[in-house]
């Protein structure tokens, strides 16, 4: 049970870091999701299409890359006192995170966000994601 909460917390941090690093990018992602059909999102009864193991694997690879970028830029941003430089670094970080997701095989930013949100509310999916994260390694070191 603790592992589930750890995963949910880390996924929440990753999602928050994407939004905190660049609110404009988070807004663009949200608008893109609203513009697409919502067939893959859960309806009011909470049912949705199951997420394939292949998508969970792709999500895990992307998540590890996004986390690597987040850590790298968090250090840089934390060491910077100039607000303009921080804003520039935040924008760069957001762009790098999007690239990290898009370069993962079979993954888009929209799919990444959908899986992230689903894992935060579905304990079974969170467990599957946790297992993939433990067995996956980033493709680019």
The share of the chain scoring above pLDDT 70, in percent, equals 62
| Helix, strand, coil percentages in the chain from 3-state DSSP, rounded to 5 | 75, 0, 25
- CA torsion angle for 60, 129, 48, 15 (degrees, to 10)? -60
- Give the HSE-up count for residue 68: Cα atoms under 13 Å, Cβ half-sphere: 16
Q: Which long-range contacts (CB under 8 A, 24 or more apart) does 16-20 make?
A: 17/70, 17/74, 18/66, 18/70, 18/94, 18/97, 20/90
Burial group, residue 26, by CB count within 10 angstroms (0-12, 13-18, 19+)? middle
The reported pTM is 0.64
Q: Does residue 92 register a pLDDT over 60? A: yes
Q: Does residue 109 register a pLDDT over 90? A: yes
CA distance 92 to 90: 5
Domain spans, the chain: 2-29+54-135
Tell me the average pLDDT across 59-72. Answer: 93
Tell me the average pLDDT across 46-68. Answer: 86
Residues 6+ positions from 39 with CB-CB distance below 8 Å:
49
pLDDT tens digit string along 116-135? Answer: 999 999 999 999 999 998 88
């Amino acid at each position: 049970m603790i592992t589930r909460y750890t995963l949910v917390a880390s996924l929440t941090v990753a999602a928050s870091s994407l939004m905190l690093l660049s609110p404009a990018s988070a807004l663009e992602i949200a608008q893109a999701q609203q513009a697409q059909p919502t067939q893959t999102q859960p309806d009011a009864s909470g049912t949705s299409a199951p997420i394939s193991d292949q998508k969970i694997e792709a999500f895990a690879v992307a998540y590890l890359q996004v986390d690597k970028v987040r850590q790298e830029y968090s250090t840089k941003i934390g060491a910077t006192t100039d607000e303009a430089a921080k804003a520039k670094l935040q924008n760069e970080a957001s762009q790098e995170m999007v690239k990290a997701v898009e370069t993962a095989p079979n993954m888009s930013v929209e799919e990444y966000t959908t899986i992230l949100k689903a894992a935060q509310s579905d304990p079974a999916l969170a467990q599957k994601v946790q297992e993939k994260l433990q067995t996956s390694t980033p493709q680019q070191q």
